[in-house]
Chains A and B, each alone.
Chain A
Amino acid sequence: MVTVIFYGDIKQRAGTEKVEIRGNRPLIEILTEISERFNAKDLIFREGRVRGELLIIVNGSDWNSLGLLDKPVGDDATVKLVPIWHGG
């Protein structure tokens, strides 16, 4: 199983720190399932795309900025959803 760890407002919305979810499938499928299960579509997606200010850390790399949303996530992976803030 893939361990998905939440941070920031996604953690608050999910009401839990992490969840185990089926792996060996594209990252985008995992994100879609998470967004539906925790009613977090607005925090993960914008205008049909994954929000740019969301780091999606898989084994230390941000698969969002690397454009790897269609890459399968191994069943033993840890995915961290880290919202980034821009105010100063």
Chain B
Amino acid sequence: MIIFNKERYSRQLPIIGEEGQKRLESARVLIAGVGGLGSIVSIYLAASGIGKLILVDPDIIKLSDLNRQILYTSKDLGKKKVAVAKERLQSLNPEVNIDTLDEHIAEDNAFDLVKSADIIVDCLDNWKTRFILDEAICKSKKILIHGGIEGLYGQVTDIVPHETLCLRRLISEPRDKEFVPVLGTTPGIIGLIQATETIKLLAGIGRPLINKMLVYDGYITEFNIIELKPTQENLYFCWGECHE
């Protein structure tokens, strides 16, 4: 039986209800990457009372991370991100169980990682790994909250089995850049929306970004929703046969 601390969650219980809080506490969320997006996503999901967070990131903390990766401080330089993240998040909310893996997401571990979670939050910084994750998502029929950023731009969309296109179908042949400039606030804004989407989907409230892509333009402070209308044929190609 799940017993949560009512005082800790007293400000959100009127929003999501006790049933919603129980759903958060029984949920397992995989956060793929604890960099700019992952810092924000993990902080807010830990604070919200998600039962189990699985943090995956192979990197160590560098000085150039600190304009946006707000889980870390100057004293953490050279330390493993997942180790520091776990310590900080556990301090924020000791009720959350946190598993960590300081490895790349690769073809030999992606499926098992994805299978161990209810929802996966895409906080990655490259398409190659995203598409490995996407392949595992299609096989395991799990929900992915996609986010991406650059400069003062970003996007968020929810990938849901049989309802939306998978990531590879949605974004055809992207190419990674070596160096991605980014204002520190951009992953803050996009990561917060990803965290909100995760909580909404788990608690069963609101209208999530299913077949909608939120596009952020920080230069002119504008949010737009792009409506997506996948055909049944394309949905079948994503979830029915191509990945099985």
Beyond A7-B215, A88-B33, whether A82 also contacts B226 by CB under 8 A is yes
A53 within 8 Å of B (CB atoms):
yes
Q: Is the CB of B172 within 8 A of A87?
A: no
A86 within 8 Å of B (CB atoms):
yes
Chain A residues 13-31 with CB under 8 Å of chain B are: none
B177 within 8 Å of A (CB atoms):
yes
Selecting from B5-13, B110-118, B146-154, B196-204, the interface stretch reads: B146-154
Using a Cβ–Cβ cut-off of 8 Å, how many residues does chain B contribute to the interface with A?
44
Q: Per a CB cutoff under 8 Å, which of B149, B213, B229 touches A59?
A: B229
Q: Is the CB of B226 within 8 A of A66?
A: no
Chain B residues 193-217 with CB under 8 Å of chain A are: 213, 215, 217
A48 within 8 Å of B (CB atoms):
no
Q: Is the CB of B175 within 8 A of A62?
A: no
Residues of A contacting B173 in the complex (Cβ-Cβ under 8 angstroms): 52
Beyond A65-B169, A66-B234, A85-B155, whether A57 also contacts B226 by CB under 8 A is yes
| Residue ID in chain B nearest A47 by CB atoms | B175
Q: Is the CB of B229 within 8 A of A87?
A: no
Q: Per a CB cutoff under 8 Å, which of B122, B130, B229 touches A61?
A: B229
Q: Is the CB of A86 within 8 A of B127?
A: yes
Q: Is the CB of A88 within 8 A of B217?
A: no
B187 within 8 Å of A (CB atoms):
yes
| Residue ID in chain B nearest A61 by CB atoms | B229
Q: How many whole Å from A86's CB to the nearest CB in chain B? A: 5
Q: Per a CB cutoff under 8 Å, which of B182, B219, B228 touches A87?
A: B182
Residues of A contacting B226 in the complex (Cβ-Cβ under 8 angstroms): 7, 55, 57, 80, 82
A–B Cβ pairs within 8 angstroms, 27 of them: A9-B153, A12-B219, A52-B175, A53-B171, A55-B170, A55-B226, A61-B228, A61-B229, A62-B172, A64-B172, A66-B234, A82-B155, A82-B226, A83-B153, A84-B155, A85-B150, A86-B125, A86-B148, A87-B125, A87-B149, A87-B150, A87-B180, A87-B182, A88-B33, A88-B38, A88-B122, A88-B148
The residues of A with any CB-CB pair to B shorter than 8 Å are 7-9, 11-12, 46, 51-53, 55, 57, 59-62, 64-66, 80, 82-88
